């Protein structure tokens, strides 16, 4: 496997670089290759000649994506560029791994979202990711479209870090209790991606998440229980949180095609022990 990782300095990209280390992956980020620049992408593929490209880039600011400029950027990075990349990879017979999100679903389903469920995003970030999903599937055959959710990891801003930071300042934490999902450690996800490739599973859509759904509020409690950090956590509803972007109430992804990952609690414990 000759692996090229795009977005290699991001939260997920950094752990992909760690997990794929034995394959000596080439990692590039925005400073070297802007994914929206087709000729830069083409040049990189010609230089590296990868057999696998893992696209861990993304415009990930969900609230910022609600603004006009934000949505334009998100559409370019999460949407249109994915189509271009898919076409370039397809022409060269390269396998493409791409990541999408629970936020492509509207959250109104009773029960977990399967790989086959219809997407219907309710915010701009979700829309931009859905454009990417559609273009990927139109332009290539050799793809793994990996939907995941609520990522936490060492190399990027995330909910776990935010909670600990705010608690450290002695702030009262107001956390939503009416959105549920599956928090997922970037290391566990990266290892699963390696297994997908090694096991040469059929191409297509996969949901890969740590197990056991929780609300953000319950997740906050788990973080403080495990770290022993004292914090006052107050449950609030989504309306009260007044975020620019609406979030799906039910963000729970079911993994029907891939062996279930361990519980997010175990993953969280493991993650905290590495800090």
Ligand X SMILES: NC(=O)c1ccc[n+]([C@@H]2O[C@H](COP(=O)([O-])OP(=O)(O)OC[C@H]3O[C@@H](n4cnc5c(N)ncnc54)[C@H](OP(=O)(O)O)[C@@H]3O)[C@@H](O)[C@H]2O)c1
Strands (E), the chain: 3-6, 26-28, 52-55, 95-101, 143-148, 151-152, 173-176, 180-181, 184-185, 204-207, 214-215, 233-236, 250-251
Q: Which two structure tokens, joined as six digits, stand for 135?
A: 């273009």
Residue 29 touches ligand X, criterion: CB under 6 A: yes
Is 125 tagged catalytic? yes
Cβ proximity to ligand X: between 6 and 231 the closer is 6
* Max CA distance (Å), the chain: 55
Q: What is the DSSP letter of 233?
A: E
Contact characters 2-21, ligand X, x per CB under 6 A? -----x-xxxxx--------
Q: Which residue minimizes CB distance to ligand X? A: 10
The shares of helix, strand and coil residues in the chain, as percent rounded to the nearest 5, are 45, 20, 40
Q: Using the rule CB under 6 A, which residue among 4, 41, 56, 197 binds ligand X? A: 56
Residues 228-247 binding ligand X (CB under 6 A) are none
Residues 116-145 binding ligand X (CB under 6 A) are 129
Min CB(82)–ligand X separation in Å: 9
Q: Using the rule CB under 6 A, which residue among 75, 123, 149, 210 binds ligand X? A: 149
Residue 148 touches ligand X, criterion: CB under 6 A: yes
Cα distance from N-terminal residue to C-terminal residue, the chain: 31
Size of the site for ligand X (CB under 6 A): 25
Residue 101 touches ligand X, criterion: CB under 6 A: yes
* Chain centre to alpha carbon of residue 214: 17
Catalytic residues: 125
Residues that bind ligand X (CB under 6 A): 7, 9-13, 29-30, 34-36, 56-60, 77, 99, 101, 129, 148-151, 156
């Amino acid at each position: 496997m000759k692996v090229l990782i795009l977005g290699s300095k991001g939260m997920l990209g950094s752990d992909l670089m760690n997990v794929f280390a034995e394959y000596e992956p080439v990692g590039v980020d925005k400073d070297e290759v802007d994914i929206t620049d087709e000729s830069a992408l083409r040049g990189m593929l010609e230089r590296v000649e990868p057999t696998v490209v893992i696209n861990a880039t993304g415009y990930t600011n969900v609230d910022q994506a609600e603004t006009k400029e934000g949505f334009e950027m998100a559409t370019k990075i999460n949407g249109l560029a994915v189509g271009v990349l898919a076409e370039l990879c397809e022409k060269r017979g390269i396998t493409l791994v791409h990541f999408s999100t629970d936020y492509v679903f509207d959250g109104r389903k009773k029960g977990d979202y399967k790989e086959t469920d219809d997407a219907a995003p309710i915010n701009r970030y979700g829309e931009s990711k859905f454009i990417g999903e559609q273009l990927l599937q139109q332009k290539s055959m050799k793809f793994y479209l990996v939907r995941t959710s609520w990522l936490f990891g060492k190399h990027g801003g995330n909910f776990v870090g935010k909670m600990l930071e705010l608690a450290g300042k002695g702030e009262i934490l107001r956390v939503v209790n009416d959105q549920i999902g599956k928090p997922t450690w970037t290391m566990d996800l990266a290892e699963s991606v390696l297994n997908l490739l090694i096991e040469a599973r059929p191409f297509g859509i996969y949901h890969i998440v740590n197990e056991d759904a929780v609300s953000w509020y319950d997740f906050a409690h788990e973080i403080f229980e495990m770290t022993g950090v004292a914090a006052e956590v107050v449950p609030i509803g989504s309306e009260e949180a007044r975020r620019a972007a609406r979030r799906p109430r039910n963000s729970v992804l079911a993994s029907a095609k891939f062996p279930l990952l361990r519980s997010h609690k175990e993953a969280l414990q493991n993650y905290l022990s590495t800090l």
